[in-house]
Amino acid sequence: MKRDRIENLQRRQLLAAAATLNLWHWLPSAGAAPTEPSRGGPNGATPGAGSVTRRRLGPLEVFPIGLGCQWTPGRGPGAVNDLYASTTDRTAAIALIRRAVDLGVTLIDTAEAYGPFFSEEIVGEALQGIRGKVVLCTKFGFDIDPQTGARRGGRNSRPEHIRQVVEAQLGRLRTDHIDLLYQHRVDPEVPIEDVAGTVKDLIAQGKVRQFGLSEPGVQTIRRAHAVQPLAAIQNEYSMLWRGPEAQVIPLCEELDIGFVCWSPLGMGLLAGNVTSASRFKAGRDFRAAVPRFAPEALPNNMALVELVKIWSRRKNCSPAQLALAWLSAQKPFIVPIPGTTNVAHLEQNVLAASISFSGAELKELDAALAAVRIQGERLPPPVLAQTGVEAPPKR
């Protein structure tokens, strides 16, 4: 134990030196898992850690497919739930994360708000002994008591709160540093310069390596990046929701910022396990509150599902794999982080890293996708209102 403490201190000091030398339950971050069996990648092989080209999120290098860990406590002892009515247990959740690392996955994403604290605790336990193999990402930004986990409502990115949250996160994650720390949602009361400056200080202290934002306004991205360079923006992006293509992804390309996709499988729609007759239980399944999954919207939105199934047969893969591979084909700095509670689904998701499109295929598929009109907003109104927010000016 003493040796571990010394090594952790040394690592933190090293990170601090390098920096000096310049060198919420209902806030989704991951898509529901696929349910169809994989028809394999090229030659039926699962890509290993060295068989695919890594992607860059700013200075961070990661496997093309990450893992989103957004879980809440279930009703029984040790039970673990996701947002889409899937259930597992703590032991299995830990094993799933470790299996992801075995498969070569290096980007592990979670947040203080998931539980709250619950997901970070599972991730921290799962990464014992393999912490150095992953890029560990978490988030701050909601008004949650850092000691008790009580939700006080609203957002909170005041500098003193950020510092308290990070100290607590380091304990839950059982690590001495966070590789990528996101502001979960922009605080409309705190200038982004104050937020970025606080994270910059944490980087100088070796407690954080890189900074990111989730669902921010475009000008907030520029302002934050001017204070502390951003490694990644994390927004919803999929065949079902392509909003980031208008402004955010081009800005990421301009500023050399990576882009991480939450809900890359469209909350399960793109995995082929939702039909026009699907209904979702309020309080157990987040989709019950999402307008595009409403009974009046689903029949219209099945056109996208059918298109994905047609192309998955053409590419000899599952619909979920097709959806993930399409995202990867958009830009070389895009990394989806599908979530799942099922190891077989995890393995299928990882296979998507070996699927590619020719230029002609991508042009044809994009034209077909553009012809599909989706009905319904992507999020419930109160959640949607927290996206695309511009931070107040610095005075």
Active-site residue numbers? 114
- Residue 266 phi/psi, 5° resolution? 55, 45
Cα(297)–Cα(177) distance, integer angstroms: 44
B/e letters for 295-323, b = 16+ CB within 10 Å, e = fewer, are eebbeebbebbebbbebbeebebbbbbbb
Beta carbons of 198 and 154 less than 8 angstroms apart: no
Residues counted in the chain: 395
Cα(173)–Cα(252) distance, integer angstroms: 29
Cα(347)–Cα(134) distance, integer angstroms: 17
CA angle, 125 then 75 then 87, to 5°? 65
- Name the burial class of residue 172, with classes exposed (0-12), middle (13-18) and buried (19+) by CB atoms within 10 angstroms of its CB: buried
Helix axes 319-330 and 298-314, enclosed angle (nearest 10):
80
- Which neighbouring-strand residues pair with 371? none
Helix axes 218-227 and 192-204, enclosed angle (nearest 10):
40
Cα(28)–Cα(131) distance, integer angstroms: 24
Cα(367)–Cα(359) distance, integer angstroms: 12
Measuring CA to CA, which residue among 53, 174, 65 is closest to residue 109?
65
CA 265 to chain CA mean position, Å: 12
Structure tokens at 239: 């065949």
Cα(226)–Cα(185) distance, integer angstroms: 19
Instruction: Tell me the C-alpha to C-alpha distance, in Å, between residue 340 and each of 181, 275, 280, 281, 387.
Output: 22, 19, 18, 19, 24
Measuring CA to CA, which residue among 355, 345, 294 is closest to residue 323?
355
